[in-house]
Amino acid sequence: MRAGLLLLLLASPAVAAPPPGASSCSGCHGAPGGAVPSLSGHSAEDIAASLAAFRTGARPATVMNRIAKGFSEEESRAIAVWLAGGGP
């Protein structure tokens, strides 16, 4: 019974749904031919590290420093994992 429940949870479509905030990234990063760098091909570690650097101010930015401050470490990581798995 417990194993069946676990399988049900793993197969749930909610697993593939973007974590809070992740769908907002594509407004800028998914735009073709835009000036914003694409995130496709970036690893989750890459994206999470960039977000952390933007958040602390270690990496200068025009908008990402402000966007990154809106997410906690855990939220940033969840977004990074999701984006690396097929987001924009």
Residue with smaller CB distance to ligand HEC, 6 or 17: 17
Residue with smaller CB distance to ligand HEC, 8 or 16: 16
Q: Which of residues 3-62 bind ligand HEC (CB under 6 A)?
A: 21, 24-25, 27-29, 36-37, 39, 47, 50-51, 61-62
Q: Nearest-5° angle of CA 48, CA 11, CA 24? A: 35
Q: Which residues bind ligand HEC (CB under 6 A)?
A: 21, 24-25, 27-29, 36-37, 39, 47, 50-51, 61-64, 67, 79, 83
